[in-house]
């Protein structure tokens, strides 16, 4: 069993997903940059942090998608479990990991909600979609067989896994374009 096989998903849908992740990262970074010029209070600074966090998450998830890091992490866990002799009892370790991930996710959501409590709806949409994507990454990494079977269902030749991912990334992109007119371009000082 190899831990890392390089680029895994060479399909059109796989590349489309990666392109969407990178596009979302760029768009969110652009929004963050625009907000930097208009963020004059604590609320604006918090919203700026949200967009930067979403940009970083989108970039990381795009790299992860193409390098198939969930599989790498899952295989690493399997190798460790076999070497240490507790592979047969891995279900309890998976449940503990899910509990830890749920707690970390809840804390992250609480922090993001505090940051964005007065933010526009577009920022909330981007945050919700991003949190879903990160949680989805974590769930795939833990690799519960019932979840794996569910997300491998194909609809019109495309896996439910890809459909969910593309829809969530699309929501981040839509939110970034929705937020753009609100932030607007920075005002340039008049030169005399």
Tens-digit pLDDT profile for residues 5-44: 455 667 888 889 999 999 999 999 999 988 887 766 766 7
Position 150 scores a pLDDT of: 74
Q: CB–CB of 4/72 below 8 Å?
A: yes
pLDDT at 54: 94
Domain boundaries, the chain: 12-183
Contact indicator for 128, 150 with CB cutoff of 8 Å? no
* For residues 55-60, average pLDDT: 95
Whether the full predicted model's pTM is greater than 0.85, yes or no, is no
Could you tell me if 129 and 172 are in contact, meaning their C-beta atoms sit under 8 angstroms apart?
A: yes
For the stretch 130-147, pLDDT in tens is: 988 988 888 777 766 666
For the chain, helix, strand, coil in percent to 5 are: 80, 0, 20
Quick: pLDDT tens for 89-120.
Answer: 777 777 787 788 878 888 888 887 787 888 88
In this structure, are residues 174 and 125 in contact, taking their beta carbons and an 8 Å threshold? yes
pLDDT at 181 over 70: no
- Sort 127 into a burial class: Cβ within 10 Å, 0-12 / 13-18 / 19+: buried
Task: Give the tokens for residue 14.
Answer: 């796989």
- Give the SS3 label for residue 154: strand
Position with higher pLDDT, 53 vs 94: 53
The reported pLDDT for the residue numbered 140 is: 76
């Amino acid at each position: 069993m190899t831990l890392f096989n390089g680029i895994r998903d060479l399909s059109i849908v796989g590349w489309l997903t990666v392109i969407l992740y990178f596009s979302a990262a760029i768009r969110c970074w652009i929004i963050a940059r625009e907000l930097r010029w208009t963020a004059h209070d604590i609320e604006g600074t918090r919203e700026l942090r949200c967009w930067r966090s979403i940009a970083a998450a989108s970039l990381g998830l795009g790299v992860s998608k193409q390098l198939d890091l969930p599989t790498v992490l899952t295989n690493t866990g399997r190798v460790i479990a076999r070497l240490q002799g507790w592979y047969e009892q891995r279900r309890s370790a998976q449940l503990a990991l899910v509990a830890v991930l749920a707690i970390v996710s809840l804390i992250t959501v609480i922090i993001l909600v505090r940051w964005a409590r007065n933010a526009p709806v577009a920022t909330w949409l981007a945050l919700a979609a991003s949190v879903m994507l990160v949680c989805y990454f974590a769930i795939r990494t833990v690799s519960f067989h019932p979840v794996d079977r569910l997300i491998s269902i194909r609809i019109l030749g495309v896996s439910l896994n890809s459909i969910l991912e593309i829809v969530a990334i699309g929501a981040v992109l839509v939110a970034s374009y929705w937020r753009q007119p609100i932030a607007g371009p920075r005002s340039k000082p008049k030169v005399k």
